[in-house]
Amino acid sequence: MRARRQKPKGSVVFNKNRGTWNFLWMENGHRRSIKLGTLGRLPTKEDALRKVEVTKRALRLAQERKPSTVRELVDRYRETKMPERFSTRYGYEAWIRNHILPKWGESTITDLQAREVELWLTSLPLSPKSKEHIRGVIAQLWEFAMWERTAETVINPMKLVTVKGATKRKRKPRSLTVEEFQKFLNQLDGSYRVMALVCVSFGLRISECLGLKWGDIDWLNSELKVQRGIVRKVVDRVKTEESEQTMSMDQEMLLVLQNHRQQSLFPSPEDWVFASVVEIGRFPISYGWVFRRFQQAATEAGIPVFGTHTMRHTYRSWLGAAGTPIEVQKKLMRHRDIRTTMNTYGTVFTGEMKAAHSKVVRMALSGGTPPLN
């Protein structure tokens, strides 16, 4: 519901020169006043006090009918409809704080029409993808305003906004060949080496890899449970329901993790698999350190373009090179919609998933066949 505005607080004063009762109050740092009536109509202060209650109600209703600013709308959105997942909320806040409020904070939501917003987005020195994110947040604010009935229920104007190039990638996703990955891996040691192997063997997002705990590994049944992610020391759910999954683990990868656990200072089930020594095991190694170490290893291996998500793209490419059916790839990639993997549907069999995972592990650990072109 829309936040109720408080009644104006103030005092009733009699103006002897004019013979009138007046109500005085402060609003947004400014002194306001309104005449209540003459002494003839309000002979006592008690009469003036009764009249001021009626005046306060009228002022409050007038304030509530006044369209709220986008800044006020954002405050209410944060309280009631802002996404709970930390990484999503963090992204929304960045677009709101850095772009939407500086431009539109003192406007009303109805000022944000398709033409005006599209021209503004075009003028921003941002990538098409970033502009599309901003358009999406404004669309959410419009939906919220219609939900709380501070704007008429109409077609969301943001559906009419076009961001050129938003559906096109500025750079093609980078996947490593088996040979490139082996060169990259040879530049890593310790936790970073194991982390790279885990990411490329399971296609984990870096937040999911850092979010692993020893208790997530079923050593007896050779399974790995992906059930959380961590971003900026905030533990949260994984990206989608499909991302939360128990995955089969090849025996060679199991041995890699067993050896890593034996060397770890924090081997308890509730400890992080990639615990930070600096944080005394309270948190995993920070994303910043992982990014810098991976970038350094990639440079030393002669790989020009590299990011932590390269491991996930590589996993997808290796599944295809290993001849894995597309419906199995979807399940292993933990995609919600198979169109994210490829426009094909089908049935998934556990045996096929285990076989595909084992093939990828062989490629990661020993550079085995099948190679990529």
Helices 350-366 & 251-263 angle (0-180, nearest 10): 60
Q: Are residues 127 and 213 in the same domain?
A: no
Q: Do 254 and 214 lie in a common domain?
A: yes
Q: Is residue 165 part of a domain?
A: no
Q: Report d(CA 352, CA 185) in Å as an integer.
A: 27
Residue-level pLDDT at 292: 93
Task: Say if residue 128 is in the same domain as residue 80.
Answer: yes
The verdict on residue 1 lying in a domain is no
Reduced to 3 states (helix: H, G, I; strand: E, B; else coil), residue 51 is: helix
Give the total number of structural domains in the chain.
3
DSSP one-letter code for 172: P
Give burial (CB, 10 Å; 0-12/13-18/19+) of 99: buried
5 found inside a domain: no
Look at residues 18, 44, 65 and tell me which one is the last residue of a structural domain: 65
Instruction: Give the pLDDT of residue 100.
Output: 97
Asked whether residue 305 falls in the same domain as residue 352, the answer is yes
Q: Please give the structure tokens belonging to residue 17.
A: 């020169």
| CA geometry: angle 79, 336, 242, nearest 5 deg | 75
98 found inside a domain: yes
Residues 183 and 298 both lie in one domain: yes
Query: Which domain CATH number covers 125?
Result: 1.10.150.130
Residues of the chain with pLDDT under 70: 1-8, 28, 61-67, 166-173, 240, 242, 335-353, 367-373
What is the domain range of residue 335?
178-366
* Residue 248, beta-bridge partner list: 223
Q: Are residues 195 and 271 in the same domain?
A: yes
What is the domain-level CATH number for residue 235? 1.10.443.10
pTM of model > 0.85: no
In a domain, 171, yes or no: no
Alpha-carbon separation of residue 81 from 84, 89, 105, 143 (angstroms): 8, 10, 18, 10
For residues 144 and 277, membership in a common domain is answered with no
**Do 205 and 239 belong to one domain?**
yes
Domain check: are 75 and 122 in the same one? yes
59: domain CATH number is 1.20.5
The answer as to whether 166 is a domain residue is no
Quote the DSSP letter at residue 319: H
Indicate the residue among 160, 187, 206 that finishes a domain. 160
Residue at a domain's end among 42, 65, 88: 65
Domain match, 244 and 357 both? yes
Instruction: Return the pLDDT at 60.
Output: 73
Cβ–Cβ < 8 Å for 188, 301: no
Task: Return d(Cα 305, Cα 293) in angstroms, integer.
Answer: 14
The pLDDT value given to residue 344: 31
> How would you list the strands of the sheet with 20-27, edge to edge?
10-15, 20-27, 30-38
Put residue 248 in one of left, alpha, beta given phi > 0 → left and psi -120 to 50 → alpha.
Answer: beta
Q: Are residues 88 and 188 in the same domain?
A: no
> CA–CA distance from 367 to each of 56, 308, 363 (Å)?
78, 20, 4
Judge whether 170 lies within some domain.
no
One domain for residues 53 and 86: no
The 10s digit of each residue's pLDDT in 290-344 is: 999 999 999 999 998 788 888 888 888 888 777 777 777 777 777 665 444 443 3
* 333: in domain: yes
